[in-house]
């Protein structure tokens, strides 16, 4: 009985037959020749040769896409951190446009991203040095031309608030004590302004006007509260000494403190 199924040899012949013969159903049950084997092998090699660069290109594109996704994720993570830092005031203490986070760094929230300012202790130390030097220099220059007083005499007059009149006979020791007390007072003045600016950012946003007002308040507190309660006693006032005292406290104390603690204005 004859079967309609092709023999195994016919199937092999169909597999190696040219495409136009397979489509037309024309295929003789013949063994492929050596030449046909060579042609088929060359076609397979050519197909494989095309697959190699295609696979490499696909792998390279996947690697680039993965790197781009990682970069995008990092940027989105940084943006979320910035938004959370601005939306959580309980995690930060604002100080005139600067924000102190729990890591105790001060970030300028009003200028370019990533710009950092000095920590608060460093800014207070810097302001203390500036105020102390300016105030004592102004006092030495004024009293030298007004009364011929030497810098040592000025330093001893500061120590008189603690020691009284014996400070003027103590020589360099009391002069050094007076200079140390002067910078300690400057530190207290700067620290008070810095703490107040945390509750009132306007103090560092408008340092000139606020500093001038603060200088007048410091002058009144020193001459009508601190000195009368100290061993130096109530000072004697005259027009020129009052004018000089107001100038020194407004410019060398108040405005210098505010400017040293102030921050750059917000960029638009």
**What's the rounded Cα separation, in Å, for the pair 154 and 149?**
7
Q: Are 158 and 179 in contact (CB under 8 A)?
A: yes
Q: What's the length of the chain?
A: 268
- The closest of 247, 112, 253 to 190, measured between CA atoms, is 253
Dihedral sign, Cα of residue 16, residue 17, residue 19, residue 22: negative
pLDDT per position in the chain (268 positions), as tens? 554 555 444 544 444 455 545 444 444 445 555 555 555 555 555 555 555 566 677 777 888 788 888 888 888 877 777 676 655 544 344 444 444 433 333 333 333 343 445 567 888 999 999 999 999 999 999 999 999 999 999 999 999 999 988 999 889 999 999 999 999 999 999 999 999 998 888 998 899 999 999 999 999 999 999 999 998 888 888 999 999 999 999 999 999 999 998 865 554 4
100 beta partners: 93, 106
- Residue with tokens 């509750």, as numbered in its chain: 199
Q: In what order do the strands lie in the sheet with 98-100?
A: 93-95, 98-100, 106-108
Taking CA atoms, 29 is separated from 25, 38, 120, 190, 256, in Å, by 12, 19, 95, 105, 106
Residue 71 dihedral angles phi and psi, to the nearest 5°: -65, -40
């Amino acid at each position: 009985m004859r079967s309609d199924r092709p023999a195994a040899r016919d199937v092999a012949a169909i597999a190696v037959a040219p495409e136009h013969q397979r489509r037309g159903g024309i295929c003789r049950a013949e063994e492929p020749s050596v030449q046909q084997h060579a042609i088929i092998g060359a076609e397979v090699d050519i197909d494989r040769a095309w697959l190699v660069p295609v696979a490499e290109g696909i792998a390279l594109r996947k690697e680039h896409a993965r790197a781009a996704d990682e970069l995008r994720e990092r940027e989105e993570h940084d943006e979320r951190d910035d938004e959370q830092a601005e939306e959580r005031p309980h995690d930060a203490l604002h100080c005139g446009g600067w924000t102190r986070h729990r890591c105790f760094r001060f970030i300028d929230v009003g200028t370019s991203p990533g710009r950092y300012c000095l920590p608060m202790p460093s800014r207070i130390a810097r302001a203390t040095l500036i105020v102390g030097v300016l105030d004592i220099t102004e006092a030495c220059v004024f009293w030298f031309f007004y009364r011929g007083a030497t810098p040592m005499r000025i330093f001893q007059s500061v120590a008189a608030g603690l020691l009284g009149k014996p400070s003027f006979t103590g020589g360099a020791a009391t002069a050094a004590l007076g200079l140390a007390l002067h910078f300690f007072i400057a530190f207290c003045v700067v620290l008070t302004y810095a703490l107040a600016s945390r509750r009132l950012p306007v103090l560092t946003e408008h340092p000139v006007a606020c500093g001038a007002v603060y200088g007048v308040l410091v002058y009144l507190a020193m001459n009508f509260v601190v000195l009368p309660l100290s061993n130096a006693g109530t000072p004697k006032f005259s027009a020129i000494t009052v004018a000089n005292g107001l100038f020194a406290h407004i410019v060398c104390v108040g405005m210098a403190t505010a400017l040293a603690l102030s921050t750059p204005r917000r960029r638009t």
